[in-house]
Amino acid sequence: LYWPQTGLLVVPLNTYKSQSNDQKSGALALKVTDGAITELGFIEHPGEAGSMYSSAIRRSLVINGTLWTVSSRGLMASDMGNATNQAWLPFN
């Protein structure tokens, strides 16, 4: 997702570190300006019950100034300016 009005760029990201068996899945929120790209934050959705892994984010969109991300587990509303979690709506 690129939102030109604010320079918000949201990129799905999955990482894996074999040394520590550490997996991270979510979306990286960035601010793009004429002279720089800065990280705003990383958005993660809860994983399956009993799992240590977060759910992969499939889509992101902006509605009324709120960043929404979608995974197989639910919807998360985040602040567009700093990617902090505002609400979590799980799928039941």
Question: Looking at residue 71, what is its pLDDT?
Answer: 93
What six digits make up the tokens of 18?
């074999």
Dist CA 85 CA 3 (whole Å): 18
* Count of beta carbons in the 10 Å neighbourhood of residue 26: 22
Place of tokens 């240590």: 52
Question: Looking at residue 55, what is its pLDDT?
Answer: 85
Dist CA 92 CA 81 (whole Å): 29
Question: Looking at residue 46, what is its pLDDT?
Answer: 87
What six digits make up the tokens of 6?
């604010």
* Count of beta carbons in the 10 Å neighbourhood of residue 90: 11
Question: Looking at residue 52, what is its pLDDT?
Answer: 66
Going from the first residue of the chain to its last (92 residues), give the mean pLDDT of each consecutive group of 10, the final group possibly shorter.
Answer: 96 79 86 96 84 83 97 95 96 86
